[in-house]
Amino acid sequence: MSLKSDLVVVCGGGGFIGGHLVADLRRQGFTRVRCVDAKPQTQWYQRFPDIENLVLDLEDKSACYTALQGAHTVYNLAADMGGMGFIELNKGLCMLSVLINTHLLMAARDLGTQRFFYASSACVYNADKQRDPNVTALKEEDAYPALPEDGYGWEKLFSERMCRHFREDFGLLTRVARYHNVYGPFGTFEGGREKAPAAMCRKVIAAKLGGPKELEIWGDGHQTRSFMYIDDCLKGTQMLTASDFVEPINIGSSELVSINQLADIVEEIAGIKLNRSYNLKAPKGVNGRNSDNTLIKQVLGWEPDTRLRDGMEKTYRWIYDQMAGRGS
Ligand code: NAD
């Protein structure tokens, strides 16, 4: 177990999940938090001047040794990633994130890090199990035989295995979560890396703020997903990191909705109805995906439980404030 005075390093802390994790650690009273990201600090979603903030490119091996100097616990949330629109068109960039996790693992091993958390993804799951929108929720064993999302998913699966072998061969205590679609405030909602919940909010808010009363949906809208609110992601991540469980595990909501239902929710929050069009050529990912939470309930006695409607309300309000604040 880590003490509140132990040094915790959040890699990718300028990003969406990392930024929330840093904020949460501060709230809990951790006194030594180091936040590391490649982006200039002005682009970090959340930034706290009272903690140690480092701008480093963690693909570089020596940067990883600088980042992890003295670390007790490391959360690796750094990756070159985004929603389907990004990962389907940037497979090479996604796979280069293998350098980040590999070099961080080497530094953690050599510098005596006590706990190493790695953020994997539901994109590791075999595509053949995700062809039907009426999905059977994905259990952890469904990652094999391997047929993950091309590019991004292969990198995640490989990095999961690196964590396993660093634990087996070098005794580094690694923990691996397979996140299923995380959403919430202080994340990307435009620019090409955004994911479905934020993109849906942005499109509906644009109409609400005076744009055309149109809503373009990627795919036929029947594809299904589950979405996890950021607070659940933070809770599961920290519980898993403190636990004795060593295998990759789902951290995701099991509340399954179609993309059309997600659009219904956002329209209802906004109090508006839009004309929908369906872009069948846009990247849309697998037809159906849900998280089977049997294992997490056994291991942690808990599962992500924020209702989608509640989490989307908070997300919508934050994106609304960003867009209304700059007048678009
Ligand atoms: P994000 O893009 O908001 O944050 C990732 C951060 O990593 C960014 O701030 C980026 O600048 C940083 N980064 C990229 N390359 C780097 C490098 N070379 N050196 C240092 N920093 C670098 O993404 P997120 O949503 O916060 O995701 C965090 C982690 O969780 C990622 O590993 C992602 O693959 C994983 N994940 C996220 C989701 C989700 O729905 N958000 C789902 C599954 C898995």
Separation of alpha carbons 133 and 269, rounded Å: 25
**What mean pLDDT do residues 300-316 have?**
98
- Both 172 and 201 in one domain: the answer is no
Query: Is 302 contained in some domain?
Result: no
**What mean pLDDT do residues 147-167 have?**
97
pLDDT of amino acid 2: 78
**Total domains present in the chain:** 2
- Both 19 and 156 in one domain: the answer is yes
Query: Is 189 contained in some domain?
Result: no
Q: Domain range for residue 314?
A: 196-225+256-291+307-325
CATH of the domain at 214: 3.90.25.10
- Both 142 and 106 in one domain: the answer is yes
CA neighbours within 13 Å on the CB side: how many for 191?
Answer: 7
- Both 131 and 83 in one domain: the answer is yes
78 lines ligand 1 (CB under 6 A): yes
Indicate the SS3 state at residue 216: strand
Predicted confidence (pLDDT) at residue 32 exceeds the cutoff of 90? yes
Separation of alpha carbons 182 and 18, rounded Å: 12
**What mean pLDDT do residues 160-165 have?**
98
- Both 73 and 164 in one domain: the answer is yes
Two structure tokens written together for 76: 């690796």
For the CA atoms of 305, 8, 113, 299, what is the dihedral angle to 10 degrees?
-10
Query: Is 1 contained in some domain?
Result: no
The pLDDT tens digits for 192-206 are 999 999 999 999 999
pLDDT of amino acid 326: 83
77 lines ligand 1 (CB under 6 A): yes
Separation of alpha carbons 44 and 14, rounded Å: 4
**What mean pLDDT do residues 74-93 have?**
94
For residue 124, what are the contacts with CB-CB under 8 A and spacing of at least 6?
Answer: 143, 146, 148, 149, 153, 156, 157, 160, 178, 248
Q: What is the mean pLDDT of the chain?
A: 96
pLDDT-above-70 percentage for the chain: 99
Predicted confidence (pLDDT) at residue 133 exceeds the cutoff of 80? yes
Task: For residue 123, give the nearest of 285, 297, 293 by alpha carbon.
Answer: 285
Separation of alpha carbons 206 and 196, rounded Å: 15
Task: Look up 229 and say whether it is catalytic.
Answer: no
Residue 190's pLDDT band (cuts 50, 70, 90) = very high
284 vs 221, more confident:
221
Query: Is 93 contained in some domain?
Result: yes
Separation of alpha carbons 259 and 242, rounded Å: 34
pLDDT of amino acid 1: 67
pTM of this structure = 0.97
Catalytic residue among 118, 152, 179, 183: 152
- Both 232 and 320 in one domain: the answer is no
> Ligand 1 centre and the CA of 77: distance in Å?
5
Instruction: Tell me which amino acid residue 261 is.
Output: Q
CA distance from start to end of the chain: 47
> Ligand 1 centre and the CA of 129: distance in Å?
25
157 lines ligand 1 (CB under 6 A): no
- Both 205 and 88 in one domain: the answer is no
179 lines ligand 1 (CB under 6 A): yes
- Both 162 and 284 in one domain: the answer is no
For residue 212, what are the contacts with CB-CB under 8 A and spacing of at least 6?
Answer: none
The pLDDT tens digits for 232-264 are 999 999 999 999 999 999 999 999 999 999 999
- Both 164 and 268 in one domain: the answer is no
pLDDT of amino acid 279: 95
Which stretches of 137-195 are DSSP H helices? 152-170
Two structure tokens written together for 5: 């005075």
- Both 284 and 241 in one domain: the answer is no
**What mean pLDDT do residues 18-33 have?**
98
Residue 179's pLDDT band (cuts 50, 70, 90) = very high
Query: Is 50 contained in some domain?
Result: yes
Query: Is 296 contained in some domain?
Result: no
Query: Is 301 contained in some domain?
Result: no
CATH of the domain at 93: 3.40.50.720
Query: Is 287 contained in some domain?
Result: yes
- Both 56 and 35 in one domain: the answer is yes
Task: For residue 228, give the nearest of 184, 168, 182 by alpha carbon.
Answer: 182
- Both 213 and 236 in one domain: the answer is no
